[in-house]
Structure 1
């Protein structure tokens, strides 16, 4: 695959957004800011609902104004959420951080892969997506590997250092080139939603995937750290354990290249 500006920028953004240095101590960090595990899950529930609700207006915005401006705004909001996270000491502010993040996540959702598809073309998309996803995991693994060194100095430092890669990622979005594809309109998004809601199998699939993702996220991000504490595991080992847990996800980028040989089962 020859040099492609958008593809290169998307990979850089994915790599940088993997640098969540506070990931291995996310629960411990929040509890140190005087919020309980109940508060954490309440905020996460609100976050999940808002992320779903914001998908529709973002889809309409994306159709009308294009991929670049959508990603610029969304990634900037993500950057802001990391600043708020670092400065937060209350339930209300942690909730605000998650609301901002919900706006960002729903904006990026679908827009990034649509831009990737439009930029690399159908023939190279599967391989490009595999590498794009893999780089986000690589970034996270690097940050996780370093986190225990940083956390040994200060837990606050893990949140502070996370701000910078997200700021660079947001800046990188300004250099994205809008692909030459015809823009849709609000009716396209609405019609797509009608088709999706009319197909019960698609709805069941989406609900199942959301449930699996949120359950996995809750276990590997929040509940596991509480169990580590109960087991007497030192905080410096949390990052090492998380690296071992996340390493297999790198393998998920490889099977994408075999999809054509295996065939695809449609819904």
Structure 2
């Protein structure tokens, strides 16, 4: 049962990674008349909804079960891609992100809880790495299709994404429940007790803020600002698509996250994974050369791919309550709060000057490093940083 769940989640991750419009996601919206500030404003609204929905969804998931939650969210994910495909204005793209917020908060902590409970603490970082890497493999395959066959037909790219998410929704029907039925569990823990237990681990708050900063730097620079940087460098749509293929391929290195942190040591690994995006943003800010710009985006991609499985293992290991989905949703709420502030700053700065936004990314990454160092000094948790 456990191996089957892991295999199905691997398949879902692969299919949901197949976003065929990924290489031109910013340009796609701009063709429909949506500016960069509006794009990032929609992202911020999405994050705000995530904060509102995180904890309620976590409570629901712990009560109705992880399988049912996955089913609901996978089918809503499918619906959100249909909405995106049909969107032609700000309202349409906003509606898509609203649906996506419901999905993200529903899945938050549920997919990783299933993987953690099925794989066990010792193997979880490896499983998280493979899970994330398969999502990147989906992106790679979709980017290859876009570059070789889709080209400038942006609407076709959106339609193909609808098909891949529909297949993922069908795959979710095969999942089995791993959370015990209510009758088999101990007396239901009051929410206040779950809240206290969720944030009780030493250094957790600083870890979550650092995670939010690093994740948002990667998300904003490699998904939105990179395309503006590429245009600034004079790259064509075909070249952007080809670069995106390699960027997706580099995301597969997340499967080696456990090996990387083991070889470098957790403290050194944490430092490297903060300094790499800081350096990448600084170089992007200073250059208009295509080769350097592409290399820096690749550096951000590698560092984030190695960091995410590492921080997922730490967060799951810090859960001190049976209501795992609720606890992880509370964690995600903290991260989302950081993301909203960071994303609005990126949007305002990018509208004014792209280089200012990239400089802000460097500052955010260095701040994450200082937070992780503070966690280590105050708590003695060597594996945090």
TM-score by length of 2: 0.63
Aligned position for 2:383:
265
Pairwise CA distance, 1:171: 1.2
Task: Report the counterpart of residue 308 of structure 2 in structure 1.
Answer: none
**Any conservation in 1 of the 2:2–2:118 contact (CA below 8 Å)?**
no
2-side partners of 1:170 and 1:100: how far apart? 15
State the alpha-carbon separation in 1 of the partners of residues 152 and 260 from structure 2: 44
Cα distance in 1 for partners of 2:24, 2:188 equals: 41
Cα distance between partner residues in 2 of 1:178 and 1:3:
10
Matches within 5 A, 1:90-239: 90-179=89-178, 181=180, 183=182, 187=189, 190-197=192-199, 201-239=203-241
CA drift at 1:153: 5.0
Q: Output one character per residue of 1:144-198: Cα deviation in whole Å (capped at 9) or x when no partner.
A: 1221234425111111100111111111111101125355687465433334456
Where 1:4 maps in the other structure, the secondary structure is helix
Higher relative contact order (CA 8 A, sep 6+): 1
Residue 80 of structure 1: CA displacement?
0.7
For residues 29 and 266 of structure 1, do their structure 2 counterparts lie closer, same or farther at Cα, with a shift above 3 Å needed? closer
Cα-to-partner distance string for 1:111-168 (whole Å, 9 max, x where unaligned): 0011112223345433322222221111111111221234425111111100111111
Asked if structure 2 preserves the Cα contact closer than 8 Å seen for 1:126 and 1:257, the reply is no
Aligned equivalents of 1:216, 1:119: Cα separation in 2: 29
Contact 1:60–1:186 under 8 Å retained in 2: no
Specify every segment of 5 or more residues in structure 2 that has no aligned partner in the other structure, as ranges: 267-381
Q: What secondary structure, in the 3-state scheme, does the structure 2 residue paired with 1:30 have? A: helix
How many positions carry a matched residue from both structures? 266
| Rounded Cα–Cα distance in structure 2 between residues aligned with 1:180 and 1:216 | 33
Q: Give unpaired runs (5+ residues) of structure 1.
A: none
Q: TM-score, normalised by structure 1?
A: 0.89
Which deviates more, 136-145 or 256-265? 256-265
SS in 2 for 1:236: helix
CA RMSD of aligned residues (A): 2.5
Q: 1:191 to 1:88 in 2, by over 3 A?
A: same
